[in-house]
Amino acid sequence: MKKQIIIALAAAVAFAPFSDYGTVKGRAEELADAKAAYLCDFESGTPAYQKNETERLPIASMCKIMTLLLCFEAADEGQLRYDEPVTVSENASGMGGSQVFLDTGLTYSASELLKSVVVCSANDSCVALAERLSGSEGMFVERMNERARELGAENTLFANCTGLPKEPQYSCAKDVSIMLRELLRHEKYFEFAKIRLEDFSHPDGRTTSMTNTNKLLRSYNGCDGGKTGFTNRAGFCLAATAKRGNMRVISVVIGAKDSKSRFAGVSNLFDYAFSAFESRNIVEAGKPIGVKLPVRGSRQREIDVCPERTLSIFCKKGEAEDAAPEFILDSDVKAPLEKGAAVGEAIIYRGGVETDRCKLVASESADRFSWGEAYKKIAEKMI
């Protein structure tokens, strides 16, 4: 077990109690005319609006958020190459609903299949990718449910990878935000999410036009991703994200009465977030924390460390907050040490409650003493 040094700093921002921020339920129900809704900060997950947020409801194609997450994670882990050919099975090509009309036996790149899922919610591409990663859609769905549990999505159960009607399956507004928040950590997703209109090319020369169903990409300033969903039982659904300045938020609406209502609901939630809230950085990525880390066996002796990513708090504008960082450093670090190596953790406490954490990493490399330098060092101590 590693020995650690804990360094707690004084409150970075001092204001009102954290408990005031958890919800605006009862004060702004008109923001989303739907069965359920949820608004939160991307960085910390702090909620700003909640309406029936844990009610188990069908979410239609928004379940593809998890399908995409597993695909991008597989690519990160080397289990899937974006340029690799994926052969389409008869089962995949036979999917109904939204599709790009894949042909049985033809091969498409994993990247193109992923793009079609992000842009036009292609059910056939979903199943082709699921079969590639797990051997069958059923096995892939097992992994979807396992990943949901890992993320803490406690009110979610998947029955397929597409969201097409099948019982039992459900999720809730809060869980959808958790899954989307994790998906947004993959930059490759945004490469596809920004596409509004594009032709999908088939190996036999055919093309299928793909139109992004997220109209907020065109109409809402800062919206750069999201996933729509609709079935008769689920109603009209939308999970989307928008960023302005240094603040990114996530908004989810489930069970709106029509398409116009879901886009209006998410837009209203975005407006509320950007007008009433702000993101305050507590520690910044790449910026030394001001505490040197000793390194044994190196000519450097000690190095600067910095947060791997920016940690911030999401709070009401003009309202204060009791927030402070705590740094936990490994106490026995030995050379050689590469720049970017993890050497501890930065934790943000808000009102005494942990809200976020990230790795602390070495700001520079620390080489090991050469034999000559080590001998000289020992000799100096003996004099």
Is there a single domain that holds both residue 110 and residue 233?
Answer: yes
State the pairing for strand pair 311-316/353-362. unpaired
Classify residue 350: in a domain, yes or no: yes
For helices 64-76 and 137-151, the axis angle rounded to 10 degrees is 90
* Residue 117 belongs to a domain: yes
Contact yes or no for 21/46 (Cβ under 8 A)? yes
Query: Which phi and psi angles does 89 have, rounded to 5°?
Result: -85, 165
Say which residues have a Cβ less than 8 Å from residue 223's Cβ, sequence separation at least 6.
214, 216, 217, 240, 241, 242, 270
pLDDT at 12: 47
Among 262, 278, 294, give the residue marking a domain's end. 278
Contact 323, 352 (CB under 8 A): no
Query: Same domain, yes or no, for 227 and 360?
Result: no
Answer yes or no: do 256 and 113 share one domain. yes
| Catalytic residue (one of 51, 64, 174, 215) | 64
Would you say residue 27 lies in a domain? no
Q: Are residues 77 and 54 in the same domain?
A: yes
Q: Which of 121, 134, 171, 251 is catalytic?
A: 121
Question: How many domains are there within the chain?
Answer: 2
Instruction: Give the C-alpha distances (Å, rounded to integers) separating 254 from 118, 163, 230, 241.
Output: 19, 14, 9, 15
- The distance from CA 194 to its chain's CA centroid, rounded to whole angstroms, is 16
Domain that holds residue 376: 4-16+284-382
Q: What is the pTM of this model?
A: 0.84
Strand partners, 315: 278
Q: What is the pLDDT of residue 27?
A: 45
Catalytic annotation on 121? yes
- Which CATH number covers residue 369? 2.60.410.10
Does 336 lie in the same domain as 191? no
In a domain, 254, yes or no: yes
Q: Are residues 158 and 292 in the same domain?
A: no
19 catalytic residue (yes or no): no
pLDDT of residue 2: 57
Q: Which of 44, 61, 267, 298 is catalytic?
A: 61
Residue 168 lies in a domain: yes
Residues 6+ apart with CB under 8 A from 267: 216, 219, 220
* CATH assignment at residue 229: 3.40.710.10
Which pLDDT value is given to residue 318?
85
Q: Is residue 238 part of a domain?
A: yes
Question: Which of the listed residues 229, 260, 278 is the one where a domain comes to its end?
Answer: 278
Do 141 and 241 sit in the same domain of this protein?
yes
Q: Are residues 189 and 256 located together in one domain of the fold?
A: yes
Query: Would residue 290 count as lying in a domain?
Result: yes
SS3 340: coil
pLDDT of residue 320: 76
pLDDT of residue 18: 35
Of 263, 278, 293, at which residue does a domain stop?
278
Nearest to 69 by CA among 170, 173, 213, 177: 177
Q: What is the pLDDT of residue 351?
A: 83
Q: Which pLDDT score is estimated for 372?
A: 54
In this structure, the answer to whether residues 143 and 81 fall within a common structural domain is yes
| Same-domain check for residues 219 and 162 | yes
What is the per-residue pLDDT for 218? Answer: 95
Tell me if 26 is assigned to some domain.
no
- Residues 238, 323 share a domain: no
pLDDT tens per residue across all 383 residues of the chain: 555 777 765 444 443 333 333 344 444 457 999 999 999 999 889 999 999 999 999 999 999 999 999 999 999 999 999 999 999 999 999 998 999 999 999 999 999 999 999 999 999 999 999 999 999 999 999 999 999 999 999 999 999 999 999 999 999 999 999 999 999 999 999 999 999 999 999 999 999 999 999 999 999 999 999 999 999 999 999 999 999 999 999 999 999 999 999 999 999 999 999 999 999 999 999 999 999 999 998 877 899 999 999 898 999 998 877 888 999 999 889 999 999 999 999 999 988 889 889 999 999 998 886 555 544 555 455 45
The verdict on 177 and 78 lying in the same domain is yes
Q: CA-CA distance, 149 to 169, in Å (whole number)?
A: 14
Active site residue 64: yes
